[in-house]
Structure 1
Amino acid sequence: MNQFAEKEPYILSPDLKYLREKFDELRRHKKDFNTANCMMITGESGSGKSELAKRYLQIYPSYQDQTGTKQPILHLEIKMANTVKDVLVSLLVGINDPQMGNGARNSSELFTRFVRLSKVIELELIILDEVQVIIERRSEKVISGIGDLFKDLIKETGIPIVFMGMPWARYLIDSNPQLNGRIAIRHTMPIFKVSEQKKFEDFASLVKGLTKSYGLSNAIDTSNKELLLRLFAFSKGNVRQISRLLRSLFIFCTINSKQPNSRLLADIVESLGYPEAINPFKQNITDVVIEENLTESDFLFSHRSKGNSIIAPEIARFRITKDLKIYSIV
């Protein structure tokens, strides 16, 4: 692993810590009480869902014992879900099926193979990522069939499933009463805001944690409200965006042997394609526009699957006064 990969930080916020503990709890309930409680996590793109799953998988990787390979966690990013068979093949590939999901005459045989192999590898938790893919541009018949598949897998294997995805991923669960009844925990990833003091303080805590992890604490003063407002304006409070920006600063300074400082953020943002007129690190503070989500994104279903479309969240916009107060703009 190179030095940049090793420096990839992960800030375990109270919210993420709670979710990690819930993953542990689901596994414990399965092992100790044979109970398959399941979980639904929804949130906007870049809110930290996938990274949470990847980091959890790193804590509990596959391992070898006297009887063979054991895989306590399956983290599967759903990419193809046109049919029940597509999903079953992806699940089998995810647990290293020797036949890679091939060699079966029908979905029933694939299902039986997954149930058998899940016991062999002692699978304890399935984390399904990007669940909204199942919803997008699929017929009601396909959505219902895949929902039934997950319901049957939970019943047959006793393995809890964590469903993760964009806000409209919940329609997969809500449209299937029996699957819905299996969801013991529902969680929405929180979003940062400038209009609410606590949520802005949480954003500042995230920035502080990231800068400390990258060794940028001297360059990024998280007590500087103006700088925090500029960082929020660039990232819109998105975890992935602010992480990428600070990582870019770290890499730039490392490669070019430069001393990190917040003034370099303007050049880095410009290199990402932001012209000076909308670069929050080059604008006068009173010209900076901040956006935050008022609502979640959603999905509009039509009678024809090709007419389905994503509905963007409603946005609130703010400007900043010279004394660093924000006010709403139309």
Structure 2
Amino acid sequence: MFDDTGKANWRHRLTTERLAHIAHELFIVHPDLRIVYSKISHLNRRCVIEGKGKGMLIIANSGMGKSRLAKLFLQRNEADHSGTVSRVPVVVFSSPVDPSRKQLGIALLAALGDPVPKKSDAEELFRRAIKLIKKIETKIIFIDNVQDVPDRRGTNVVMGIGNWIRDLIEQSQCLVVLLGTPAAKEIV
């Protein structure tokens, strides 16, 4: 790989290499994204000050930068594994292919770094996740692709998952940011 910080480093590079860089590395922040970023940061500070969780739903069509927004928060709030206990301020995970309370618990525990996220029932997974969230000082949880929940489940399951998310907000005392397409409104 090469250092892409200077113009001279791009001389003699293939067009395909330049295009790949533009497609995968170059990120231009849209003014609306700055507003959303600022709002998430503000709500996060309020959660910390009040010691109370909050929820936020971000809706945009596919390809509009929702997942990139979550990655931006991950990059700017890197995990610290240098001490005896890791500190993971931001966690990002995607709604499982077969969403249920148990599958969401497994996905959350895996994102938190739990070495055995699949052991236990849904309630025990949730309790373990809350305990781990507090231990590693997580402040923001992004759940991507929440539009997949209503698409693949009936009303009772959607309500159960909605309750799971509500309980996550309340018990974790974190800002929980749901990312999805317009179909995600049903989960709220």
2:119 to 103, 125, 137: 103
Which residue in 1 is equivalent to 2:90?
73
The Cα offsets for residues 67-115 of structure 1, whole Å up to 9 and x where unpaired, read as: 321110011122324321011100100111021x1221x2111111001
The Cα offsets for residues 147-201 of structure 1, whole Å up to 9 and x where unpaired, read as: 111111111111111111011101110xxxxxxxxxxxxxxxxxxxxxxxxxxxx
Distance in 2 (CA, whole Å) between partners of 1:60 and 1:54 is 10
Distance in 1 (CA, whole Å) between partners of 2:38 and 2:84 is 29
Which structure has the larger Rg over C-alpha atoms?
1
Give 5+ residue unaligned stretches, structure 2: 5-16
Measure how far apart 1:136 and its partner are. 0.4
1:55 to 72, 77, 82: 72
**Structure 1 runs (4+) greater than 6 angstroms displaced:** none
Which residue in 1 is equivalent to 2:184?
169
User: Contact between 1:63 and 1:70, CA under 8 Å: does it hold in 2?
Assistant: yes
Measure how far apart 1:25 and its partner are. 1.2
User: Contact between 1:26 and 1:125, CA under 8 Å: does it hold in 2?
Assistant: no
The Cα offsets for residues 278-302 of structure 1, whole Å up to 9 and x where unpaired, read as: xxxxxxxxxxxxxxxxxxxxxxxxx
2:58 to 41, 50, 75: 41
Which residue in 1 is equivalent to 2:34?
17
Which residue in 1 is equivalent to 2:111?
94
Measure how far apart 1:138 and its partner are. 0.9
Mapped pair 1:120 → 2:98:
no
User: Contact between 1:34 and 1:158, CA under 8 Å: does it hold in 2?
Assistant: yes
Distance in 2 (CA, whole Å) between partners of 1:110 and 1:73 is 19
Residue type matched to 1:60 in 2?
N
Residue type matched to 1:72 in 2?
P
User: Contact between 1:26 and 1:36, CA under 8 Å: does it hold in 2?
Assistant: no
Mapped pair 1:155 → 2:150:
no
TM-score when normalising by structure 2 = 0.84
User: Contact between 2:53 and 2:173, CA under 8 Å: does it hold in 1?
Assistant: yes
The Cα offsets for residues 31-88 of structure 1, whole Å up to 9 and x where unpaired, read as: 2221322211111111111111112211112112433211100111223243210111
Other structure's SS at 2:119 match = coil
Distance in 2 (CA, whole Å) between partners of 1:64 and 1:92 is 17
Residue type matched to 1:135 in 2?
P
Which residue in 2 is equivalent to 1:208?
none
Bigger proportion of residues as strand? 1
Which residue in 2 is equivalent to 1:131?
146
Other structure's SS at 2:68 match = helix
Alignment of 1:1-330 (within 5 A): 8-99=25-116, 101-104=117-120, 106-173=121-188
Q: Structure 1 pair 38/21, CA: closer, same or farther in 2 (3 Å)?
A: same
Other structure's SS at 1:38 match = strand
Other structure's SS at 1:63 match = coil
User: Contact between 1:43 and 1:165, CA under 8 Å: does it hold in 2?
Assistant: yes
Measure how far apart 1:132 and its partner are. 0.4
TM-score when normalising by structure 1 = 0.49
Distance in 1 (CA, whole Å) between partners of 2:155 and 2:36 is 31
How many residues are aligned here?
171
Distance in 2 (CA, whole Å) between partners of 1:44 and 1:82 is 21
Measure how far apart 1:6 and its partner are. 6.0
Bigger proportion of residues as helix? 2
Q: What percentage of aligned pairs have identical amino acids?
A: 32
Cα RMSD (Å) of the superposition?
Answer: 1.7
